[in-house]
Structure 1
């Protein structure tokens, strides 16, 4: 947990400020538009959208804030850096390089699936978003390397998030069947 905190420490204050602004903005827009949060379903939907926006903001902060590395690198051979990191790196480097790339996209896949409920779309969007981030890291002067393995790991994270979303929706259906006697949800 400490390594996770250390990895994201520079962006935490910025993220918290943006998160608060997003919540205030959502509440303001809901009140202005007359949209009432008078059911659990509507509250759940609003939380999903806030989660998605917060996830995208967090991904941008984590991946595009300058890292200060002097050399930008480009690695286009699939699995090369994954294998190299796994075989030669310390446990901390494995966590920072491999696991963090997967974890970064788990919330993205989760919230996107809950919004779209489409597995293929969620997978493609995770891949394309990761490719966009890697391209921006290559183009912008942020001192970060561009790596095809990051795209692979991010996509795996998006798929894991999507599977968690599928599980959450299945549990909601089971909950509705048990508590109400049917699988329909009312607004």
Structure 2
């Protein structure tokens, strides 16, 4: 049993998050009635798929069989500073920061689409993205995944959440303008 846990224990948080998300999605879908029911299910399904993908990317162990503890960094942008001072290049840290931003844009775009009737949608999805990112960093800290817990990841994921909310607001604005234009013509 111990060998089984060490080989597949890292999958448990991913399975739990995806299962809870899908249960929530199905219960949300069952409450809806009418012809728009399937269209209301799309953002929920895309959100669940995105959550599963983010968990697979961020919560899979980096090493093979012998997984160790990862590193911890609570000093904002210290890796960027170190690479600038000692290595004289920004290629790797900029790629890492951009990947963290891009990772959360689809998640919060789909959450915003799901919650499209809410007021202060950008603030809400940014908070949800920040909370989800905190959960990932917390899991990376406490689970023996060999991953680094980094404040930079949390900051950039939160920024990506903000951008995802903004993109949804702009997409909704363009959609409404096109719909109004179509009614006029």
* TM-score for both structures, normalised by structure 1: 0.70
Contact 1:55/1:108 (8 A) holds in 2 = yes
User: Which of 74, 77, 80 in structure 2 is aligned with 1:76?
Assistant: 74
- Unaligned runs of 5+ residues in structure 1 are 1-17, 183-187
Q: Which residue of 2 aligns with 1:10?
A: none
Runs of 4+ off more than 6 Å:
none
Distance 1:162 1:99 in 2: 17
- Unaligned runs of 5+ residues in structure 2 are 1-17
Q: Give the drift of 1:80.
A: 1.3
Contact 1:113/1:165 (8 A) holds in 2 = yes
CA RMSD of aligned residues (A): 2.9
Q: Which residue of 2 aligns with 1:105?
A: 104
Q: Give the drift of 1:91.
A: 2.8
Q: Give the drift of 1:176.
A: 1.4
Distance 1:125 1:86 in 2: 32
Distance 1:86 1:108 in 2: 31
Contact 1:82/1:149 (8 A) holds in 2 = no
Q: Give the drift of 1:161.
A: 0.9
- The number of residues matched between the two structures is 153
Matched, 1:124 2:127: yes
Q: Give the drift of 1:84.
A: 3.3
